[in-house]
Amino acid sequence: MILMYHKVDIVIPSKWWVSVERFENQISSLYKKYEFVYLDDYDISNKSQVVLTFDDAYENIYRHAFPVLKDRNIPFEVFVIGDVLSDWNDFDGSEMKTRFCSLTHLEKMARSGGRMQWHTRTHPQLPRLNDEQMDAQLTVNSELKSKFPEPHFKWFAYPSGMHDQHSVDQVRKRFSGALSVDNGSDLDRFQLNRITVDETWMPA
């Protein structure tokens, strides 16, 4: 299974946040039952595997989730919005204000088990874009590519899980695989579904 987190912090103002204590409990439970792997090594037919993904690269992931994962040497994937590093989540008006990771945060996570992956430049819904706009959004900027060579930036996550056949086709030309949320396909490496983890979730 592939798990999707957004924010891990001491507060939980919405379903997109998981408390630090609950996160630690979830990871401890998973650690007993599953093998943590990177997306590159994920076999959908292997029910003993789990992939941890963190969408948007929020600073609280670095502060609260990363130490837990580093402690246990657990691999994880961080999906970066390229143009908002160190900024605030102004595009998400329904959510409490929170800051994105800095480049330094990403580098520290990459040195200790994290792989940086792509989540567009500004988090638009791809089906609404023309080809020129989509090309710009799907292109990892040169600074990030130079600082994070492969195996980083091989995978893509559709913003809000939204995609159509055209966007899937464009992503297929540029990446090794891609993730949706729950409107994808477990049989298609370029629109794999994920489980959204919230405060109530615990592994079976």
204 against 55, higher pLDDT: 55
Q: What is the model's pLDDT at position 95? A: 87
Q: What is the model's pLDDT at position 93? A: 79
Nearest to 143 by CA among 80, 57, 67: 80
Q: What is the model's pLDDT at position 62? A: 98
The rounded distance, in Å, linking the Cα atoms of 78 and 116 is: 5
Q: What is the model's pLDDT at position 204? A: 86
Instruction: Give 90-138 pLDDT, tens digit per residue.
Output: 888 788 999 999 999 999 999 999 999 999 999 999 999 999 999 999 9
Q: What is the model's pLDDT at position 90? A: 86
- Banded pLDDT at 146 (limits 50, 70, 90): very high
Q: What is the model's pLDDT at position 113? A: 97
- All domains of the chain in start order, with CATH: 2-196 (3.20.20.370)
The rounded distance, in Å, linking the Cα atoms of 17 and 45 is: 29
